[in-house]
Amino acid sequence: MFKSLNIGHLFLRRMPILILVITLFASCGSKKQQRVVYEKFPVTTPALKDTFYVNEYVADIHSVRNIEVRARIGGFIETIHIDEGQFVKEGQLLFSISSQEYKQELTKARASLASAVAEAKSTEVELNSVKMLASKNVVSKSELDIAQARWEAQLAKIEEAKADEASAELKLSFAKVRAPFSGVVNRISNKIGSLIEEGTLLTTLSDNHEVFAYFNVSEKEYLNLVGERNIDQRKNIVLTLANNKQHPYKGVIETVESEMDKSTGNIAFRARFPNPDLILKNGATGKIAITNPLDSVLLIPQKSTFEIQDNIYVYVVDNKNKVQIREIKPRLRIPHFYVIESGVTDKDRIVYEGIQRVKEGDQIDPQPIQMQNIMVQLDGL
């Protein structure tokens, strides 16, 4: 009985120690089970890659040959031999202008020429007669000189009459207005019966088998385009039409104006495009697209960046998976990506997505994603 009481008393005295030991073991087990779980974020590494960027310029389109067809003489339009929008061949008759007046002038000029020739023959006979008499000293030398002068004057009248005849023939030919080259006839302002004056615009004629596209570029872009490295970029120029479809034929930059426009700082380029389907018309507009190569440049996705007071930043992940904010200097912006000038290297890891949920100093669980896979997802670069 006494021994049992002693054992119980001993157990009661040691109970707090046992409870403490059990609590400690339980606490250690709990700590082993509690692991810190960090939020997962996709991260990527800036990539060194050969790529390109495209500059677009508004272009004015002009036919290689586009002229105004004007009347060379006045009169009534007797006949219009073509229609608006019609393709005509070089030398084809376009308009007939009343020509009776010019026919009469030609007849008169021819008559004057015939009269001058007849008078010249008469003075020639007279001259020969005076020469014979002068050789026999029947007439004085002065009379011979007078006869010679009359004959020479009559020869001059013949030349004058010939010139009048040629002028009359030329004016008469102007009554028939012909196409100076093959092309498409545009609007015809004056109809049959209209009284026109010399110089009146009859229509315009465009040869659209080839067209010029004029566009302006800045001085910096001009220097890049004319450099030796980019000489091939002046070929295979793309023209986008007003309906956002590309012209099926590539062009080539042919020439550059000689001076910069001081008011804009631009200079005009001219590109030539084939147009066998005659789709492009004089006076149309479009956009010139010029592809510029970039060799081994550092790229990061635009969606990995954010702006603070016009400066651009990314979140860089260090070797302890902690996030640090870092400013970057873009060299160029291309679709979906920045070309980086400074701020990060191809060894850095940056947060690709979820930058709105992270702040500097946060520790994350990085999930690597290859930049090549990002490029394929975004635009197939």
Q: What are phi and psi of 366, to 5 degrees?
A: -70, 135
> Which of 122-126, 271-275, 363-367 is predicted with the least confidence, judged by mean pLDDT?
122-126
Q: Are 296 and 49 in contact (CB under 8 A)?
A: yes
Which segments of the chain belong to CATH 2.40.420.20?
40-50+295-378
- The rounded distance, in Å, linking the Cα atoms of 327 and 354 is 18
Is CATH 3.30.830.10 what the domain over 100-173 is classified as, yes or no?
no
Question: How far, in Å, CA of 208 to CA of 16, rounded?
Answer: 106
In this prediction the pTM is 0.65
DSSP string, 165-226: HHHHHHHHHTTEEE-SSSEEE----S-TT-EE-TT-EEEEEEEEEEEEEEEEEEHHHHHHHH
Q: Which two tokens stand for residue 287?
A: 């956009």
Does 231 score more than 70 pLDDT? Answer: no
Mean pLDDT of 317-333: 93
pLDDT score of 5: 43
381 vs 377: CA distance, rounded Å: 9
What are the tokens at 10?
Answer: 């001993």
Apex 115 CA angle, 112 and 118, nearest 5: 150
pLDDT at residue 1 tops 50: no
Range with lowest mean pLDDT among 48-52, 76-80, 242-246, 268-272:
48-52
Res. 230: pLDDT tops 80: no
Q: How confident is the model at residue 193 (pLDDT cuts 50, 70, 90)?
A: very high
Give the architecture (CATH level 2) of 55-62+210-293: Beta Barrel (2.40)
C-alpha Rg value of the chain to the nearest Å? 47
Q: Which CATH number fits domain 72-98+175-199: 2.160.10.10, 3.30.70.20, 2.40.50.100, 3.40.50.300?
A: 2.40.50.100
pLDDT at 227 (0 to 100): 64
Delimit the CATH 2.40.30.170 region(s) of the chain: 55-62+210-293
| CATH architecture entry for 40-50+295-378 | Beta Barrel (2.40)
Question: Where does residue 223 rank: exposed (0-12), middle (13-18), buried (19+ CB within 10 A)?
Answer: exposed
When pLDDT is cut at 50, 70 and 90, the band that residue 132 belongs to is: confident
> What are the residue ranges of CATH 1.10.287.470 in the chain?
100-173
Residue 223's pLDDT band, with cuts at 50, 70 and 90, is confident
Q: Where in the chain are all domains bearing CATH 2.40.50.100?
A: 72-98+175-199
Between residues 37 and 196, which one has the greater pLDDT?
Answer: 196
